[in-house]
A and B are shown apart, each in its own frame.
Chain A
């Protein structure tokens, strides 16, 4: 499991674009990069997954540079309902070291 580093918290205003970067310097060849969103007292929700370059879906974009040592989750025009914790996961297997990091707590202000 590749160790990941994310900012602990971020603030934004409604309507802005938010970019959350995750560092994963020891990513392995087979590793995918997956982002989850979690609201209080709910399970994490899958947002987006990628392997390289750029992936886009209806809610977010994921940018992965050529060296894959980092990735950036981009949330366009955030709203108050995007206030949540965002987790970046990198790896390809379960095991005793399979741990979600502390994530990034995003607060969207009016």
Chain B
């Protein structure tokens, strides 16, 4: 079974621009969650989607948004990029969306650099 696929792998953007990242979950997994990882803040939860609905949201500004399609693929968008948005963005999928009794399967992330 193919793992979680994230595209692109690397991205360089300029302050003020917007960016869209893509995530294809493991086949059959209906929950997709997104995370931001930086050396200073660690791995922080952005939001979780299940059956095209955002069910949970972390403590990030409205510039960070996402959506999920009927085939469970998900995208996240960051508008008006800031230097502090430079990070590794990770996507994870799971069968039913409870992160602890339904283990998360992560992709290898998109490395975003904002200049």
Chain A positions within 8 Å of B, measured between CB atoms, are 31-34, 36, 41-46, 49, 87, 89-96, 98-103
Residue in contact with B43 in the complex, picked from A33, A44, A90, A96, CB distance below 8 Å: A44
Which residue on A lies nearest to B98, using beta carbons? Answer: A92
Given contacts A92-B100, A93-B98, A100-B43, 10 further A-B pairs with CB under 8 A are A43-B90, A43-B92, A43-B108, A44-B90, A46-B103, A94-B33, A94-B48, A96-B59, A98-B58, A102-B42
Q: Smallest CB–CB gap between A22 and chain B, Å? A: 13
Type the 1/0 row for B80-115, where 1 means its CB is closer than 8 Å to any CB of A. 000000001011100001111101111111010000
Q: A94-B48, A98-B45, A100-B42 are in contact. Are A43 and B100 (CB under 8 A)?
A: no
Q: Are A49 and B90 in contact (CB under 8 A)?
A: no
Residues of A within 8 A of B91 (CB): 43
B56 in contact (CB, < 8 A): yes
Q: Smallest CB–CB gap between B111 and chain A, Å? A: 7
Q: Are A44 and B106 in contact (CB under 8 A)?
A: yes
